[in-house]
Chains A and B, each alone.
Chain A
């Protein structure tokens, strides 16, 4: 513990936010404990499961391995920032319709990763989807319906 505190100014899900936190705080703790956004999940604290994936300036980022102060001056999007108003985004809707959630604990991370993937490749092949989701683990679905949902979202199905 350094005892130092960092002042972090960032754009959180489209809104400016200023928050102070210990210097060594990781982004996951900032999001869950200080900003009270609990949609981002803590699965392994080691960057292996992808449950804590958020978007930093639009890029998928493992928040459990990222110091919170590195988010200063940047745009942070969490799962809570991906739904339009009260409805669902196309990726979210596809996950629901295709049964791509089971226990749901990995789901926010997958939705964030899939949203970034489709931002970069609006019409991905199956292989591109598999590669794009390779940083996320799911123990329930065998990934089949997750991949199906992402492809469906891309095709506007």
Chain B
């Protein structure tokens, strides 16, 4: 494919930039946590609870401790300080204290000389418990229960978080509505299924320091949690992020095993590795919440939206994790890409004795988006207009505000609609394909980074980038942004190279290491391109200013007349008068030695002043319009998505290769959730904790994907860019569901849509005497 010359005079940005760690990854030389060895390293093993809910009466570790080759056995009371990703819901401990809350909860941790010894030690631990009532139905958990899972549940219930919001007057809007639609969605739990199991290595050294290598998306939150629970000041802890084999949200919480591993290292004075097997990964979960939602939509006779009345009950599992955010997002992310003048939301996230739910790609936005887009498809049919027309009539304009005070700046949503309508041949296909074939539209809206950082007051930047250049001319880039495969290292290097005017290979992105990397809040909420990108641009401009001053002194022209060329600095009106990059650098270094430069980004103030007003505010939003083509075998219910057209507004795409990769990968994940992925429970027990029984789509199941990148520059994004990491997922599911409706005339609201449900849906429709498309 090569790299076409990007527009606007950029040499890199806007083109197709291969990932800079690609050569290491294709040769097996990229280093993930499990690839690292430390001298004298011990094996860490965890004893997991076989009980879903029980009070711990006693744990006898004496036999395990006295086994030769065992260096430490820890139980919960050694480090009982609670932690959690959100400061307001610290309800986890590294190792269970007093109670276990799900099958898989950690009861004890062992460090031993080798694997067999560690496993023998685990088998020698004797635990006595008093079983407690098991809670597996979130709808029951909203009322007071016997033995609530946490003390913090509201009024003796298992409700972790309840949100009630009302903007405008929803009841009055419904009273005057010409059309109403109601969709009740049901969503099974799904999980990230990244390929790299979690792994952590910790080493305490005699200088009083602790080093932790871990497969994490957010090194900074891990750093904080380690400090809080272990009682060590942050400056005595060093967190290093090796390559991470995928995260999708599943490695964004600080996780109990990371802290337990560090505790074992402190206890033994030896390096300790905890490596998960696939069952451990499934039991740690933090995947997308099983959810039931209920949406009523009111519209006028022309299909103009008047109100949404929305509620959701969300299964949180055993811990809070990001749950307070999840509860808000399942409501507020119903806003956009449409103008909805009245909005009411009642959301409850409920603890259950199941593996914790958490943040998963397009966190909080995926399930509610499905329900909205299916409802709008139905509304268009009721009003008697094309689904595209319905969406055009309701599109949020640029530079507007939603009823719940989201600040919308750039939106190319209409351009997305136009592009995907034309490319997909919609007008010749919709409701015109033969029975069993269908085409459907689903749209998307997602935050481009959370305006509300989890840990910082608004005074501290959300991203910081430092640069260092010495006489060799290589530029070392330091930042705690976390590349987990999405290509943020590549973008960071490309922005610096572009601004300074040097070749990409001069820029070295240094592995995340809290000793040298200035804080960036890591990879979650689709924030990295926007926030790190702005910080990187500012740092590079800072560096360029110093280089230009050096060039100015050498050339004898004032800095404002110096222009950045390719590895040169030249006089703007006399390009023949120039110095090389290295000449300018060496001049600039004469006073200070190696040059350093810094850039930071903080999002501007935004949002209303009501409770929960910050949830869902973002410095920009992405928009999407996807069309899916499906073919259904009405006899067996099997269906296949043949093609997806994905029109996406990420502002200006800075690396087209990466943006396409994010869209294609998001479609994979969205189709998985829609078509079959399910965390299957029998009561509290997860029945399919393996990639054999939890099936993600294989190559043969993927449709052809055509990416249409139509965004215009965002006013505040780096070079006009917005997010492309999570928003591309949400439109996928409803596009296919609406295509299934076009194919067989059945609305599917219970995910995943299995072939069995397709057959049952068709049979029900036939029994009700509603023929479809001349069937």
Which residues of A pack against B, CB within 8 Å? 1, 37-49, 51, 78-80, 82-83, 88, 91-93, 95-99, 101-108, 111, 130-131, 133-134, 136-147
Top 4 closest A-B pairs, CB basis? A39-B28, A103-B485, A105-B245, A104-B25
A136: chain B residues at CB < 8 Å are 699
B4-12, B189-197, B382-390: which lies at the interface: B189-197
Do A107 and B658 touch (CB < 8 A)? no
Given contacts A98-B1, A104-B21, A139-B194, A42 and B34 within 8 Å (CB-CB): yes
Partner of B18, one of A83, A97, A108: A97
A118 → chain B closest CB, angstroms = 15
Q: Measured between C-beta atoms, what is the minimum distance from A143 to chain B in Å?
A: 4
A–B Cβ pairs within 8 angstroms, 27 of them? A38-B28, A39-B29, A43-B197, A44-B691, A46-B278, A46-B690, A48-B690, A48-B691, A80-B27, A92-B27, A96-B23, A98-B657, A99-B660, A101-B19, A101-B26, A101-B485, A103-B194, A104-B22, A134-B700, A140-B485, A141-B661, A141-B664, A141-B665, A142-B705, A144-B660, A145-B657, A145-B660
Q: In the complex, which residues of chain A have a beta carbon less than 8 angstroms from the beta carbon of B277?
A: 45
B243 at the interface (CB under 8 A from A): yes
Question: Which residues on A sit within 8 Å (CB–CB) of B666?
Answer: 142
With contacts A48-B691, A139-B665 taken as known, whether A107 is within 8 angstroms of B25 at the C-beta atoms is yes
On whether the beta carbons of B661 and A46 are closer than 8 Å, the reply is: no
- Asked whether B667 is an interface residue with its Cβ less than 8 Å from the other chain, the reply is yes
Q: Which residue of A lies closest to B672 (CB)?
A: A139
Q: Which residues of A contact B248 (CB under 8 A)?
A: 139
Residue of A nearest to B194 (CB): A139
Interchain nearest-CB distance for A64 vs B (Å): 11
Residue contact B28 to A88, C-beta cutoff 8 Å: no
Identify B22's interface contact among A42, A46, A51, A95, CB under 8 A: A95
Q: Is the interface of A mostly helix, strand, loop or mixed?
A: loop
Contact B664 A103 (CB under 8 A): no
Q: State which of A39, A130, A140 has its C-beta within 8 Å of the C-beta of B27.
A: A39
Measured between alpha carbons, how far is A142 from B18 in the docked complex, in Å?
Answer: 17
- By the criterion of a CB under 8 Å from any partner CB, how many residues of chain B are at the interface? 56
Told that A42-B197, A143-B668 touch, could you supply 15 new A-B pairs with CB distance under 8 A? A38-B35, A41-B32, A44-B690, A95-B22, A97-B18, A99-B22, A101-B22, A104-B243, A139-B246, A142-B664, A142-B667, A143-B664, A144-B660, A144-B664, A147-B699
Does A41 lie within 8 Å of B690, measured CB to CB? no
- Residue from B29, B692, B699 with most neighbouring chain A CB atoms (10 Å): B699
User: Quick check: is B53 within 8 A (CB to CB) of the other chain?
Assistant: no
Which of A82, A104, A143 contacts B245, CB < 8 Å? A104
Say whether, besides A96-B22, A96-B23, A105-B245, A137 and B195 are in contact (CB < 8 Å): yes
Q: Which residues of A contact B30 (CB under 8 A)?
A: 104
CB contacts (< 8 Å) of A99 on chain B: these are: 16, 18-19, 22, 657-658, 660-661
B683 at the binding interface (Cβ < 8 Å): no
Interface residues of B (CB under 8 A from A): 1, 16, 18-19, 21-32, 34-35, 116, 192-197, 243-248, 277-278, 484-487, 657-658, 660-661, 664-669, 690-692, 696, 698-700, 702, 705
* Min CB–CB distance A76 → chain B (angstroms): 14
Contacts of A133 in B (CB 8 A): 699
Q: Which residues of B contact A92 (CB under 8 A)?
A: 23, 26-27
Identify the closest chain B residue to A143 (Cβ). Answer: B699
A41 pairs with B245, CB closer than 8 A: yes
Contact B278 A105 (CB under 8 A): no
Our pick among B1, B22, B196 for the contact of A41 (Cβ within 8 Å) is B196
A98 to B25, CA, bound (A): 13
Is B668 within 8 A of A139, CB to CB? yes
- A121 → chain B, closest Cβ, in Å? 15
Assembly CA distance A51 to B194 (angstroms): 12
- Closest A residue to B24 by beta carbon equals A104
Which A residues are CB-close (under 8 A) to B23? 88, 92, 96
CB of B193 within 8 A of CB of A142, answer no
**What's the Cα separation between A124 and B551 when bound, in Å?**
54
> Contact between B27 and A102 (Cβ–Cβ < 8 Å)?
no
Task: Give the one of B22, B248, B669, B702 with max A CB within 10 A.
Answer: B22
